[in-house]
Copies of this chain bind each other. A is one copy, B any other.
């Protein structure tokens, strides 16, 4: 009952074949403008392939992350969100009230990393950065606690 589509060995994927499931997951990530968590990705996938399993989604997301095709981000302390890696690094700004996510990039991040590398004798391979706050619309609603 599994999907049968010719697989091609893909060098970008550590010489692992591009199976139908993998192609489907990548397609969904490509279509999605935003980051998806594994469950939502699975929900969308199952509409095209009724037999794909959540385990396959997780396994392949992990693979994609390892080979550098996909970025995994933790935007809300609970689950991870996945998105296709792009040419320019970007980071996220999340509103604590409405959940709105804004992407931003800044050369400052590179500068910061360089500075830290110089001062610490570390080679920095990954910078995890996200900002939390209140967006334009929700600034006023900040709970007084």
The verdict on A109 contacting chain B, using a C-beta distance below 8 Å, is yes
Residue in B closest to A96 when the chains form the complex, CB atoms: B125
| Smallest CB separation, A135 vs chain B (Å) | 5
* Chain B residues with CB below 8 A from A112, complex form: 106, 108-109, 112
Instruction: Flag if A115 contacts B124 (CB, 8 Å).
Output: no
* Chain B residues with CB below 8 A from A96, complex form: 125
Bound-complex Cα distance A77 to B119 (A): 25
Instruction: Flag if A122 contacts B106 (CB, 8 Å).
Output: no
Instruction: Flag if A123 contacts B108 (CB, 8 Å).
Output: no
Interface residues of A (CB under 8 A from B): 74, 77, 93, 95-96, 102, 104, 106, 108-109, 111-113, 115-117, 119-136, 139, 142
Given contacts A121-B136, A128-B132, 5 further A-B contacts (CB under 8 A): A74-B74, A93-B124, A124-B131, A125-B133, A127-B130
Contacts A108-B115, A112-B112, A116-B93: A139 and B125 contacting too (C-beta < 8 A)?
A: no
